[in-house]
């Protein structure tokens, strides 16, 4: 299989979660037209991937589990015109617990090629879910995980959020224990962040909600790292933890800099070398572009400096880290710059080196953005 993937962004949600600044609309009046435009976009852009074979197909969003089985299969029929997938291809659907009825889960398994679910659980505590404005209950999330496993989904991932004002250390520990006891093999764990254009951003600005505490997030991240070690979840990326054999192919390809084609409003694409494209994050404009023959994307050609910075940013987040050889391939000047900057980070024990590979230390993982900034070419 070549290392390339297809991403489909489904830009609709039933309701806006308070913290979320992904692109989505809660108005589904033009859903049919937007989905048709996405198929048209695939027709136009199929040639942007170097090969027919896909290692990963990922339906993200938004809420892809809002799509019916027949809507999903229209996508698969269309994708099959231009691309191949096989038994080893990871085919993921991001899903919210409230959409995953037993009938829907059964049909996903029997009638579509989807073989992995990434479920937006966020927490198993009701007070967290209320604070975040999630539409489902903790009980629903737990039941869905049982059901999906019972029905035969072997690849399950859940998202969990820590560091929020309602997430006490006890709740965070209980969330992680619950995930392990439910035999979830892949966890994506994120610190709650306050984004300006969200309900939470508004509430924090107006002093209606406290600013999440950095020290709580740091403490809970430390706990997460210790938990992962204890429970055999490999911390293969800063926010992603997998039991043996359960690393997400889609995420891994992205961090390796492999080519991907992103379809749908706000989706990004990369040709694996220098060209990045990003689609307009507005359903109406996206529709207008595709129905009037305009490209819905903007693009940039990365300079060598940007490529170096991206390499540092993405690879350093991974367990394997960044090799001196990969930097040298971009130019000796980048390697010399990196080595100069790395010295003080190593002295501060934020960065470690072994046989030419540079990795974040445990303390460095807490300060990953700072470490990357120190190493950037500015």
Q: Which residues bind ligand SF4 (CB under 6 A)?
A: 13, 16-17, 20, 22, 24, 61-63, 96, 120
CB of 94: closest distance to ligand SF4 in angstroms? 8
Q: What is the number of other CB atoms lying within 10 angstroms of the CB of residue 256?
A: 13
CB of 330: closest distance to ligand SF4 in angstroms? 35
CB of 178: closest distance to ligand SF4 in angstroms? 20
Residue number with CB closer to ligand SF4 (16 or 372) = 16
Distance CA 83, CA 52 (A): 4
Q: Which residues contact 29 (CB under 8 A, 6 or more apart)?
A: none
Tokens for 326?
A: 């990969």
CB of 257: closest distance to ligand SF4 in angstroms? 26
Distance CA 213, CA 204 (A): 12
Q: Which residues of 257-285 are buried (b: 16+ CB within 10 A; e: fewer)?
A: bbbbbbbbbbbebbbbeeebbbbbebbee
Residue number with CB closer to ligand SF4 (92 or 341) = 92
Residue number with CB closer to ligand SF4 (20 or 253) = 20
CB of 82: closest distance to ligand SF4 in angstroms? 27
3-class SS letters over 184-244: CCEEEEEECCCCCCCHHHHHHHCCCCCCCCHHHHHHHHHHHHHHHHHCCCEEEECCEEECC
Residue number with CB closer to ligand SF4 (116 or 315) = 116
Residue number with CB closer to ligand SF4 (62 or 163) = 62
Q: What is the number of other CB atoms lying within 10 angstroms of the CB of residue 11?
A: 25
Tokens for 189?
A: 């764990």
Which candidate, 260, 262, 255, places its Cα nearest to that of 280?
262
Residue number with CB closer to ligand SF4 (23 or 246) = 23
Distance CA 207, CA 211 (A): 8
Distance CA 176, CA 198 (A): 27
Residue number with CB closer to ligand SF4 (63 or 309) = 63
CB of 247: closest distance to ligand SF4 in angstroms? 23
CB of 298: closest distance to ligand SF4 in angstroms? 22
């Amino acid at each position: 299989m070549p290392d390339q993937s297809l991403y489909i962004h489904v830009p609709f949600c039933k309701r806006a979660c308070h913290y979320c600044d992904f692109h989505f609309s809660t108005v589904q009046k033009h859903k049919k037209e937007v989905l048709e435009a996405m198929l048209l976009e695939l027709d136009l852009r199929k040639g942007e991937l170097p090969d027919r074979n896909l290692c990963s197909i990922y339906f993200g969003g938004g809420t892809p589990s809002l799509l019916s089985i027949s809507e999903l299969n229209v996508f698969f029929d269309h994708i099959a015109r231009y691309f191949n997938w096989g038994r080893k291809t990871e085919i993921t659907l991001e899903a919210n617990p409230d959409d995953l009825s037993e009938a829907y889960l059964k049909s996903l398994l029997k009638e579509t090629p989807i073989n992995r679910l990434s479920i937006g659980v966020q927490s198993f505590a009701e007070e967290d879910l209320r604070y975040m404005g999630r539409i489902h209950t903790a009980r629903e999330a737990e039941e869905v995980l049982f059901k999906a496993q019972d029905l035969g989904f072997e690849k399950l991932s859940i998202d969990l959020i820590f560091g929020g004002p309602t997430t006490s250390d006890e709740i965070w520990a209980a969330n992680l224990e619950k995930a392990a006891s439910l035999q979830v093999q892949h966890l994506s764990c994120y610190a709650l962040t306050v984004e300006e254009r969200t309900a939470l951003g508004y509430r924090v600005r107006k002093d209606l909600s406290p600013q999440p505490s950095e020290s709580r997030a740091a403490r809970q991240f430390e706990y997460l790292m210790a938990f992962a070690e204890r429970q055999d979840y490999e911390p293969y990326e800063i926010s992603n933890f997998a039991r043996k054999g359960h690393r997400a192919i889609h995420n891994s390809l992205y961090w390796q800099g492999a080519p991907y084609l992103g379809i749908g409003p706000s989706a990004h694409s990369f040709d694996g070398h220098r060209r990045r494209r990003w689609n307009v994050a507005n359903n109406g404009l996206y529709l207008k572009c595709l129905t009037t023959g305009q490209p819905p994307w903007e693009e940039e050609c990365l300079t060598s400096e940007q490529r170096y910075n991206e390499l540092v940013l993405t690879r350093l987040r991974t367990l394997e880290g960044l090799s001196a050889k990969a930097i040298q391939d971009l130019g000796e000047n980048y390697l010399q710059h990196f080595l100069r900057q790395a010295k003080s980070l190593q002295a501060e024990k934020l960065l470690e080196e072994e046989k030419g590979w540079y990795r974040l230390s445990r303390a460095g993982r807490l300060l990953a953005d700072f470490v990357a900034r120190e190493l950037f070419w500015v």
